[in-house]
Structure 1
Amino acid sequence: MHKQNYWGYIFTLPFTINILVFTAFPVVFSAYVSFVKWDLFNPPLWIGLENWRQVFGQQVFWISIRNVFYFALVFVPLQTIFALVVAHLLNQAIRGQSLLRLFYFLPVVTPWIAGGVLWAWLYNTKYGLLNWVLETLHMSPVKWLDSKYWWVVIGSIALVNVWKGVGSSMILLLAGMQNISKEMKEAAQIDGASGWMYFTRIVFPLVSPMIYMVMILSTIAAFQAFDVFLSMFGSQMSNVPERNMVTNMLIYRDAFQLFKMGPASAAAWALFAIILIITLFQRYFEKRWVHYD
C-alpha cells in the first residue's frame, strides 16, 4: 500500500509542479508586485499601498471599469439569448443539421486576427458593409470604432465578441437540451402545449443549470476581454482614447508599454475582486431560477 502511494506521488508530480510554477507562483508574485515599484529592469522597491492609491486615484481606471461593465451588459445577455435560440432551433429535426451546427461554431475556431480584419472592414466608415446598408436606407454613416461616443465603440466591439462566442455557448446549451427525453416532449404535445409553452415551461427550466453556467462563463470572459479589443484596434492599440479604455487594456498599457508593473498588478487584483463579487452575486440568485431536479 505504501509503495502504491509512492508511485501515485511520482505520477502526479509533473502536474503539481505545473500548478506551483505556472499558477500559484504568478498569483503570489503579482500580489507582491502590487506593493512595489518595479519596471522589469531594476530591483523591486517596496512602496506599500502607493500603487493602489495611484490606481484608484486615476480617472482612466474608473472609466475602464464603466466601459467593461457596459461591455458585459451588452455581451452577456445577447450571447446567452442568441445561443439559447440557436441551440433550440438546431435541436429540431431539420435537414443539414450537422452543417448548420458547423456554421454556427465556425467563428469559435476562427483566429482573432482573421475575425478582426473581417469586422474592421464591416465597421469601416467609408467602405464598410454596415454603413453601405445605412446609406441605402438614407441614413448617415456611423463611426463604429472611431465614434466620439464611448458607448458606440464599446457596444460595437461587444457585438463582435458575441459573434465569436455564441458557438461555444450554443454547444453547451445544445448538450443540455439533448438530455431532455423524447417522452417528455411527446407528453407535452399530447397535453396540447404549443411550441412556445414547451420551450418556456419545459426546455428552459431543464436547461437552466447550463444557462446559468453560460452566464457565469460569459461574465468572466467579458471582464477579462482583451483579444477582441486588440484585434479591433490593431495598430491603434497604443493610441486608444481614454474614453474607450477597458481594464485589461489599461493593465496591458501600464505593464508592457509604460513598464509600471506595480499599478498594473494592483489594477489586475482590483479587477479580480470585481469579478469575484459579481460571481458571488450571481451565485446568490442561483436558487431562485435554476432547477437541478
Structure 2
Amino acid sequence: MIIGGLALFLNFFAAATLAFFFGVAAVSAAGLFRTPWQSIDASGRRRLLWVAVSTPWLLALGVSVFFLLSLSVDVPWVGQLVHWHHVNAFNFYSWHAYPSLLLLLMFVAIAVKTYRSAASHLRAYGLLKLALNDEQLLESQVPQAFSAGFLVPEVFISTGLIDQLEKHELQIVQHHEQAHVNRRDSLKKLIFSFLSSFFLLRVAQPMRQAMSLCMEQCADECAVSGGTDRADVAMTLLKVTKLMRAYGARGDTASLTCAFGDSEAKARVTYLILPQPARSIPLVLMMALLSAIALLCLLSVDTVHHVIETLFTH
C-alpha cells in the first residue's frame, strides 16, 4: 500500500488509463476511417484521422486535469461528479494497477517498434543520399520517384524514370513529391503509425492506409494547384504506375517513404477525374465531436471505476 503524493499520482494515472482505453474504444466504434467518410475531401479526412488517433491521449490528459481540479477547487458539481474516496492510497495488488501496467507495456513495445522503423528509414535515407549522382538523381534503371527523410526530407527520382517521362510529366512528379517534402509527410507517417498502434490491428491498419491515401491525394492537389490539368496528373500517375509495375517495383502504403506511383493509384485517379467532394469537416464540428466524447468519458470513468470496485470487493 502506498500513501501520499505518489499514491495520488498513481491513482490519477489509473483514471487517465481508463479514459485512454475509453477513447480507443469510442474511436474504434465510431468507424472514422471507413467508407462513408470518403465523401469528405482529402484534407478533411486527413484532419479527422489526426483527431481520431489523438482522442485517447487528449481524453487521458483531460480526465487527469479534471480529477486534479476536483481536489484543488471547491466546486460542488465537480465534487458530485468525481468522488474517489481513497485517492491518497494506492495498492499495487488492486485492479487499478493492471490497466496502467498494460498501457505502460504497450507504450514501451510500440515505442521500441517505432524507433526501429525510424532507424531503418534513416539508414536507407543515408544510403540513398550517397547514391545520388552529380545531378542529384538516383542512378537506377528502375523507374521510381519518392520523398524520404524526417526533419530534412528530400525528393529522389531515378534516371530510369526521367528517361521515360515528358517534361510536363516530370514537372507533375516533382510538384507532387515536393508537396510531401514541404509537409514532412514521412515524419507525420511515423507519428501517425505510433499513435494508431494503440488500436487493434484491424482498426489501425485501415487508418494508416486511409492516412497514406489522404497524403497522396493532397499532394496530387498541390500538383494541380500549380496550373496543371487534373487529367494530366491522372495520366502521369497511371503512366508512372505502369512503368513501375513493368520493373516489379510496387508502392507500399506501410512504408515511411512517399512514392508517386502505384500507391492507391485507382482511388487517386478517381479522386482527380470525378467531381470533387463538396463536403469538408469544419474545425468547430471536429471540436464539438471531441468535446462530446470527452463529456461522455468524464461521465463514465468514475462510474466505471466504482462498478469495477464493487465487483472486486463483493
Shorter chain as denominator, the TM-score bin is under 0.3
Give the TM-score, by structure 2 length. 0.24
Report the structure, 1 or 2, having the larger helix content: 1
> Comparing both chains, which one has the higher relative contact order based on Cα–Cα distances under 8 Å and sequence gaps of 6 or more?
1
| TM-score, length basis structure 1 | 0.25
